[in-house]
């Protein structure tokens, strides 16, 4: 790998995907600056390098008139002693008009024209596109990567940027997958993309010798997994994840959070999350981690007042030891 700093300049037509391209560069570890005053571009790169930042992405658009007038010399100065790429993004007039209509934002040149002294109004969007294409022609001539985004979704454009500028498929950032065990009585994880409810499985809470052990303990895990329902559940969830995870990654997700929930988050969800993660690690090459959100809560670790028979205890208390109301929960809701 080269010791030179890597600088990527992203430019092109407004609405062609510059922000998406810069976000993709950020995912690749670039420090990105958009719409920086062009007189500060060389100094900004030097400051980044002095701070140990070796990959910099710069967004330049048509509003940077001074940059466009001296594009060649400025890029030549930036390129001295560095690896540099210039990405130019374009799309058809029809595609750009549609995107402006969808966002309901004015074209940058139209907004600038409306603020000019003596102006009677801004340019039409199509006129702004034509003028912008004309002004960017000198910069386009310097591009090392020219992409037409007319038929690309944001995810496809991201993949194109990574394919052109990433470290290679074998080293490209992979989607991070995280299993989170939790208790429904403490609330579902707000960042979960998928949630599986495992409360129908046999509950170790009602086995006195297992009640105070976590779901990661072999005795608790064996108890939870002994039923045919648990085996079938693991098989079905595993098949779903094995099918869907590569497709989530293909669509551009950087991380996926999978919630596994039981009543209190101490036994069943912990055991299932551990086994699912272990099984998945053998089938996919994604980075996989496990977090047990509620296993250490004080409600679980406090010593019980007595070790009542689980059946008599269950008559007086709900699952995971939650007290039942005097009417057994059949009264008001």
pLDDT digit string, tens, across residues 246-291: 888 877 788 999 999 999 999 999 999 999 999 999 998 889 999 9
68 falls in which pLDDT band (50, 70, 90)? low
Same-domain pairing of 161 and 184: no
333 part of a folded domain: no
Least confidently predicted of 27-31, 41-45, 310-314? 310-314
**Are residues 13 and 91 in contact, defined by beta-carbon separation less than 8 angstroms?**
yes
Is 19 assigned a ligand-binding role in the annotation?
yes
Q: At 323, phi and psi to the nearest 5?
A: -60, 140
163-206 pLDDT tens trace: 888 765 445 567 899 999 999 999 999 999 999 999 999 999 99
Q: Strands, DSSP E only, in 149-294? A: 176-183, 194-197, 255-262, 288-292
Asked whether the predicted pLDDT for residue 64 surpasses 70, the reply is no
Do 115 and 236 fall into the same domain?
no
14 annotated as a binding-site residue: yes
Say whether pLDDT at 216 is over 50.
yes
Q: For position 53, what pLDDT does the model report?
A: 94
Considering the domain boundaries, does residue 329 fall inside one? no
155 burial type by CB count under 10 A (0-12 exposed, 13-18 middle, 19+ buried): middle
Residue 197 shares a structural domain with residue 308: yes
Q: Please check whether residue 330 lies inside any domain of the structure.
A: no
- Mean of all residue pLDDT scores within the chain: 83
∠ CA(63), CA(68), CA(73), 5° rounding? 145
Q: For residue 33, what is the enclosing H or E element?
A: strand 31-34
Strand order in the sheet with 176-183: 194-197, 255-262, 176-183, 288-292
Any known ligand binding at 13?
yes
Which positions ≥6 away from 36 have C-beta within 8 Å? 44, 58, 59
- The C-alpha atoms of residue 209 and residue 162 are separated, in whole angstroms, by 53
Instruction: Determine the Cα–Cα distance for residues 206 and 199; give it in Å rounded to an integer.
Output: 13
Instruction: Name the nearest CA neighbour of 299 among 271, 264, 259.
Output: 264
* Angle between helix 218-225 and 228-250 (nearest 10): 100
| Buried/exposed code over 95-124 (b: 16+ C-beta within 10 A; e: otherwise) | bbbebbeeeeebbbbbebbeeeeeeeebbe
151 and 228 co-located in one domain: no
Would you call 249 helix, strand, or coil by DSSP? helix
Q: Is 16 annotated as a binding residue?
A: yes
- In which residue are the tokens 């409600």 written? 299
Q: Does the annotation flag 51 for ligand binding?
A: no
Do 143 and 214 reside in the same domain of the chain? no
Residue percentage of the chain with pLDDT more than 90:
53
Q: Taking residues 10-28, what's their average pLDDT? A: 93
Q: Give the pLDDT confidence score for residue 316 in this predicted structure.
A: 38
Answer yes or no: do 29 and 122 share one domain. Answer: yes
Q: In what order do the strands lie in the sheet with 6-12?
A: 31-34, 55-59, 6-12, 83-90, 145-148
Task: Report the distance separating Cα 208 and Cα 321, nearest Å.
Answer: 12
Please tell me the least confidently modeled range out of 68-72, 130-134, 139-143, 260-264. Answer: 68-72
Task: Confirm whether residue 62 is marked as ligand binding.
Answer: yes
Say what the pLDDT of residue 122 is: 57
Q: Does residue 157 lie within any of the structural domains?
A: yes
Q: Same domain for 30 and 94?
A: yes
CA proximity to 245, closest of 296, 207, 288, 205 = 288
214 and 251 share one domain: yes
137, 165, 193: which is the final residue of a domain?
165
- Whole-number pLDDT of residue 123: 67
Output phi, psi for 77, to 5 deg.
-65, -45
Under DSSP, the state recorded for 87 is E
Same domain, 16 and 161: yes
State which residues form the domain around 36: 6-165
CATH of the domain at 51: 3.40.50.300
User: Tokens 């934002």 map to which residue?
Assistant: 105
> How far apart (Å, rounded) are the C-alpha atoms in residues 27 and 30?
7
What DSSP designation does 324 have? P
């Amino acid at each position: 790998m080269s010791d030179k700093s890597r600088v990527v300049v992203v430019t092109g037509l407004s609405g062609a995907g510059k922000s998406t391209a810069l976000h993709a560069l950020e995912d690749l570890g670039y420090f990105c600056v958009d719409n920086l005053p062009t007189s500060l571009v060389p100094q900004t790169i030097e400051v980044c390098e002095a701070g140990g930042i070796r990959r910099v992405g710069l967004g330049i658009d048509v509003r940077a008139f001074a940059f466009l007038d001296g594009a060649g010399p400025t890029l030549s100065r930036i390129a001295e002693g560095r690896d540099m790429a210039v990405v130019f993004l374009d799309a058809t007039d029809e595609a750009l008009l549609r995107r402006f209509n969808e966002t309901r934002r004015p074209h940058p040149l139209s907004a600038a024209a409306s603020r000019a002294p003596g102006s009677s109004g801004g340019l039409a969007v199509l006129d702004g596109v034509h003028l912008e294409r004309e002004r960017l022609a000198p910069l386009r001539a310097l591009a090392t990567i020219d992409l037409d985004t007319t038929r690309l979704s944001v995810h496809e454009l991201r993949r194109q940027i990574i394919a052109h500028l990433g470290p290679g498929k074998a080293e490209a950032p992979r989607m991070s997958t995280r299993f989170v065990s939790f208790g429904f009585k403490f609330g579902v994880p707000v960042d979960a993309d998928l949630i599986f409810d495992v409360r129908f499985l046999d509950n170790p809470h009602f086995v006195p010798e297992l009640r105070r052990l976590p779901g990661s303990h072999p005795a608790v895990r064996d108890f939870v997994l002994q039923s045919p329902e648990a085996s079938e559940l693991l098989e079905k969830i595993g098949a779903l994840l094995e099918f869907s995870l590569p497709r989530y990654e293909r669509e551009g997700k950087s991380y996926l959070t999978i919630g596994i929930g039981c009543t209190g988050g101490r036994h069943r969800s912990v055991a299932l999350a551990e086994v699912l993660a272990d099984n998945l690690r053998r089938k996919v090459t994604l980075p996989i981690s496990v977090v047990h959100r509620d296993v250490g809560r004080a409600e679980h670790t406090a010593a019980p007042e007595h070790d009542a028979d689980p059946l008599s205890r269950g008559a007086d208390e709900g699952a995971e030891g939650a007290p039942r109301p005097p009417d057994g929960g059949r009264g008001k809701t």
